[in-house]
Structure 1
Amino acid sequence: MHPELIARVAVAGASYSSLDGQGVIVTGGGSGIGASLVEHFCAQGCRVGFLELSAEAAEATSERVLANTGNRPAFAAVDLRDIDAMRGAVAALADQTGPVRVLVNNAGNDDRMPLEEVTPEYWDDRLAVNLRHQFFAAQALVAPMTQAGAGSIINMGSISWMFGAPGLIFYTTAKAAIMGLTKSMARELGERNIRVNSIAPGWVLTERQVERAKRIYQDKFADYLTRQCLKEHLLPPDIARMALFLAADDSRLITGQTFIVDGGVV
């Protein structure tokens, strides 16, 4: 990634006064899009807690965000497949952030496997990694958000299912389901003033995605841009900025929607 491109999408951007001091929880906040989400919310003055599988990655992100924003996020190292452990981690983080008004269900994993090699056990595991925890993390925060008088839940989807990306059917199945989850949850929670939306990113150049592309398909960077209307690669801050808008009061009457952030893939 070119330094000048990164500079163009640095944390500085729109400021949302309604986010200042608000409690925010992000899942999968230790790297990639999740780390950018954590940093952007901290830069808004939010009290941020995040969940991450790797304690080492979480500690590194917490230190980096503190250095960049002056606001240290709290974190809990937890496997989101363990719902009881996840519930406990959410409660512990909420004790540190204060009343949680924003949840970003970001965690996921798009590992590939040929269709013929997928076992029932692997299928169930991948749905647990990419879908199940989104529902139960939201469920854990419905009562606190209701008590606080408002909330915004943001579920991270993907455009991959929209064009049937091969090699990861279990992932695209989960990401397609997130749109339905978002719609039904928005309907059920609307009377409690809790908004629920989802973001469907295109190919975002996280460190993990860049390294995989370099290993597997050297020409993917240039080739992918031929599919985008806008000829510039997406970076994690492009997704974080949409999340800020959906979390802030500026989007107060937006719910049940999926926002595609993909540079105009055709």
Structure 2
Amino acid sequence: MMTAPKAIYPDLANKTVAITGGASGIGAAIVSAFHEQGAKVIFFDIDVASGHELAKELGKNAYFYELDLTDLNQLTKVFSVASQEVGPINILVNNGANDMRHDLMAVTPDYWRQSLAVNLDHQFFAAKAVIPYMCEQQTGAIVNMSSIAWRLGLENAPAYVASKAAIEGLTHSLARELGPEGIRVNCILPGFVETPKQLEKWITPDIQEQILNSQCLKRFNKPPDIANIVLMLASDVSQAMTNQTIVADAGWI
């Protein structure tokens, strides 16, 4: 299959970019994509081994910080430290998530709260942490990662689905409030993306056939496909775009 050509966005060079959940999967592809553009890339993850490995692989201008995104007080502190050590953050990509499956009747209040903490809460507080820097510069871009799961009504994942629906609503709210400060906020809804985790945990031959039959394009999207869209939304080439949702699902919905 032909590899998609890589676009160059000169305005991203030397920008400071913060990416949550950046140690593996889609997040690692986003980290690598910004690094290739010449940006200074800060990325956060609870997976310390993978985070350090990726930072070592990328080398200069790649900065990994260990962070449990569900610890909101620690999130604020770590973002502050990263901004002081690397520089004021120009671009935020809220990528961190965990698409855990769960039986409807087995969901407890604690599980529900934990799922929203992993998939939703940190997106707001990460944005809150970088907004002061962006307001000072009167420019900035925030890209929130949601999912088509909520539009599909994915079964066996009500807490995850609710989180992903809320992210699109959060995007609209932030875009409206931050627009006067020159800050753009957009949202991406990926469909199925072929990552090692997805292949290991969820994909069987039957599910693979079902997904491909549902898509217009008969191929699985891969992490760099999503990273390419993030780059475009972060760059000034999309300066006319805010308060928008981009569906990247190979034509599933």
Q: TM-score scaled to structure 2, two decimals?
A: 0.97
AA at the equivalent of 1:80 = L
Shift of 1:179: 0.9
Match of 2:246 in 1: 259
Alignment of structure 1 residues 142-181 onto 2, 5 Å: 142-181=131-170
Match of 1:101 in 2: 90
For residues 210 and 79 of structure 2, what CA distance do their matches in structure 1 show? 41
Equivalent in 29, 35, 40 of residue 42 of structure 1: 35
Shift of 1:125: 0.5
For residues 65 and 173 of structure 1, what CA distance do their matches in structure 2 show? 35
CA offsets 1:207-254 (integer angstroms, 9 cap, x no match): 10011135xx23322331111111111000010000000000000110
Report how many residues are paired: 253
Alignment of 1:78 with 2:67, yes or no, is yes
Greater CA drift, 23-32 or 54-63: 54-63
Match of 1:25 in 2: 18
AA at the equivalent of 1:83 = L
Name the CA shift for 1:221/1:18 in 2 (closer, same or farther; >3 Å).
Answer: same
AA at the equivalent of 2:20 = T
Alignment of structure 1 residues 121-132 onto 2, 5 Å: 121-132=110-121
CA offsets 1:110-131 (integer angstroms, 9 cap, x no match): 1111001000000001000000
SS of aligned partner of 1:136: helix
For residues 19 and 149 of structure 1, what CA distance do their matches in structure 2 show? 16
Over 6 Å off, 4+ runs = none
For residues 31 and 86 of structure 2, what CA distance do their matches in structure 1 show? 13
Match of 2:49 in 1: 56
For residues 126 and 18 of structure 2, what CA distance do their matches in structure 1 show? 10
Alignment of structure 1 residues 108-127 onto 2, 5 Å: 108-127=97-116
CA contact (8 A) 1:234 1:263 kept: yes
Structure 2 unaligned blocks of 5 or more: none
SS of aligned partner of 1:104: strand
SS of aligned partner of 1:121: helix
Q: TM-score scaled to structure 1, two decimals?
A: 0.92
CA offsets 1:11-32 (integer angstroms, 9 cap, x no match): x600001101000000000000
For residues 32 and 56 of structure 2, what CA distance do their matches in structure 1 show? 11
Identity %: 41
Equivalent in 237, 242, 253 of residue 250 of structure 1: 237
AA at the equivalent of 1:119 = T
AA at the equivalent of 1:31 = S
AA at the equivalent of 2:249 = D
